[in-house]
Homo-oligomer: A and B are copies of this chain.
Amino acid sequence: MNRVLVVDDEPQIVRALAINLRARRYEVHTATTGAEALATAARNPPDLVILDLGLPDLDGVDVIRGLRGWSSAPILVLSGRSDSIDKVEALDAGADDYLTKPFGVDELLARLRALTRRAGSPESQPAVQLGRATVDLAARRVTYTDEDGVVDVRLTPTEWHLLEVLLRHPGKLLSQKQLLREVWGPGYENAQGNLRLYMAQLRRKLEPDPARPRYLLNEPGMGYRFDPGTDVRRH
């Protein structure tokens, strides 16, 4: 929940933002053109996008549409133009916020917090229990309480990303395509063998009995779902 894509045609602005964000524990990827932005986003699907509208190759609105085609990550638009029409177009194309230059870094960071807060809202609780395993989304940490003490469980980046997507939609069934798009980006939608493999690894590391999963469930032909053990049904 902290991978940010920064897109701006002025390298010094990108650098400045990246430094600020990395200091706040964000994982930052950058791009200076629209095409590069879409390619980078596909390779490392972001949880958050900071997008300058004045790009040399593509119209900013087209970049928004390109991202919205497969990602639902919040998009914060930066722009030098303060015309009302530009803002309306960008927001209606799928952007979530619009900030005109020059801006204060404090304000930018506050708006990013507001966006991530809402994007991750359904899961306001930072720690999720899977039997004996405890997943702390905020701290990025998994512990397993064995018979004699707590043990740290190490997850690879891809395992984290997959687990995060599942845990963010408790009880909801996610199709293979959805999962592949979220974690590996579009273009990997047919790499189902991949998904099976990482699901198996997650089960091996988290489930009490990996052979018969209780939390990371599969519905044949449909997809996967995270079933919180004793959950409060809501509607």
Contact = CB atoms under 8 A, between A and B. Distances in A.
A121 interface: yes
B106 A84 contact: yes
Main secondary structure of the interface of A (DSSP, over half): mixed
A107 B201 CA distance: 47
Contacts of A154: 219
Interface of A: 72, 74, 84-85, 87-88, 91-92, 95-98, 104, 106-107, 109-111, 113-114, 118-119, 121-122, 125, 127, 136, 138-141, 143, 150, 154, 156-157, 160, 171-173, 219-223, 225, 233, 235
Given A91-B114, A96-B114, A113-B92, A140 B173 contact: yes
- Work out how many copies of this chain go into the complex: 2
Contact of A110 (B74, B92, B106): B92
A233 B136 CA distance: 11
B91 A110 contact: yes
B221 A156 contact: yes
A235 B113 contact: no
A-B pairs, 10 with minimum CB distance: A140-B173, A157-B221, A84-B104, A91-B110, A88-B110, A139-B172, A91-B114, A84-B106, A127-B235, A87-B107
